[in-house]
Amino acid sequence: MRNNTIYLNGEFLPLAEARVSVLDRGFIFGDGVYEVIPCYGRQPFRLTEHLQRLQHSLDAIKLANPLNATGWKELLLQLMERCDADDQSLYLQITRGTASRDHGFPANTPPTVFAMSNPLKAPAPALLERGASAITLDDIRWRYCHIKAISLLPNVLLRQQALEADADEAILLQDGEATEGAASNLFIVKEGTLITPPKDNRLLPGITRDLVLELASSADIPCLEQSISAAELRDADEIWLTSSTKEILPVTRLDDAATGTGALGPLWRRMHQHYQQYKQHLRNGGETDN
């Protein structure tokens, strides 16, 4: 397998040879942003949208984009060629570079640009058969959750708390409203309508979230972008979590109570089918928006 070639600051090199300074601001301050881009049959999924979100994250932390869209596409395609798997997860990260430790931005410092690709495993069939479990937790993160920042310590702590409670994910509550998961976006189904919180600074604008809304609207499933209270979450007929790696994950248990009937929901089954068809279409070279 040739899955250990990575990209670092202009070079493709074996993972074992890649070196970043201990003074890198990513290491010292978590001062950087990232993207995770799935690829199906070596076709990147919604690449344009991922690169747009990357630009928004970079703008929000006042860091210049080291590459234009064509440069990113070429880099990522070259990285994909160096990985043996047909389905891959591309990871890219940009930090504010290496400088003596000082909170203020360093002058004239090139960013650190890192990218890697790993084989992408589809969500485990057993998980999709039984459904996932989630617990609700207070959202202890900061007020810029729309930035895909590498400083993920709160997300790490929240996910770990869920795992230690034998749950698969934490669903986060802010002022009585459910916003998203520790590393996923949130949907509920109530009486046939799909509801997801609107995009704002309390959640990451998920690329999968947007695709789910598009697929639902093409399938004439009523959708609303509206806040979800903790009570509405508990009373939901179905709960789904979405992300580039989880796809659309049905949640059948929340805080030790069954979600709806406790079985996989009928709307989830429909949307799961649509999502798998979309992936297949992409594998066949059918996505037109790259």
Which one-letter DSSP state was computed for residue 246?
T
Smallest gap from residue 157 Cβ to ligand PDD (A): 13
Q: How far apart are CA 107 and CA 206, in angstroms?
A: 32
**In 10 A of CB 95, how many CB atoms?**
24
**Residue 115 has which token pair?**
């990218």
Q: Cα 289 to the chain's mean position, in Å? A: 19
The size of the chain, in residues, is 290
Active site residue 148: yes
Question: Which residues partner with 40 through β-bridges?
Answer: 43
Cα dihedral sign, 248-252-255-260: positive
Nearer to ligand PDD, 83 or 204 (CB): 204
Smallest gap from residue 139 Cβ to ligand PDD (A): 10
Where on the chain is the footprint of ligand PDD (CB under 6 A)? 36, 155, 180, 183-185, 204, 206-209, 242-245
Q: How far apart are CA 80 and CA 43, in angstroms?
A: 9
- Output the DSSP codes for 135-154: EEEE--S-S-TTS-BS--HH
Q: Cα 163 to the chain's mean position, in Å? A: 18
Q: How far apart are CA 116 and CA 30, in angstroms?
A: 18
Q: How far apart are CA 129 and CA 224, in angstroms?
A: 27
Q: How far apart are CA 97 and CA 21, in angstroms?
A: 9
- Output the DSSP codes for 96-164: --B-SS-SSPPSS-PPEEEEEEEEPPPPPHHHHHH-EEEEEEE--S-S-TTS-BS--HHHHHHHHHHHH
Nearer to ligand PDD, 98 or 244 (CB): 244
How many CA within 13 A on the CB side of residue 1? 9
Nearer to ligand PDD, 184 or 227 (CB): 184
**Residue 144 has which token pair?**
């810029």
Smallest gap from residue 102 Cβ to ligand PDD (A): 28
Nearer to ligand PDD, 99 or 213 (CB): 213
Nearer to ligand PDD, 99 or 233 (CB): 233
Of 73, 121, 148, 279, which residue is the catalytic one? Answer: 148
Which one-letter DSSP state was computed for residue 31?
-
Smallest gap from residue 185 Cβ to ligand PDD (A): 5
Smallest gap from residue 107 Cβ to ligand PDD (A): 31
Nearer to ligand PDD, 52 or 106 (CB): 52
Q: Which residues are catalytic?
A: 148
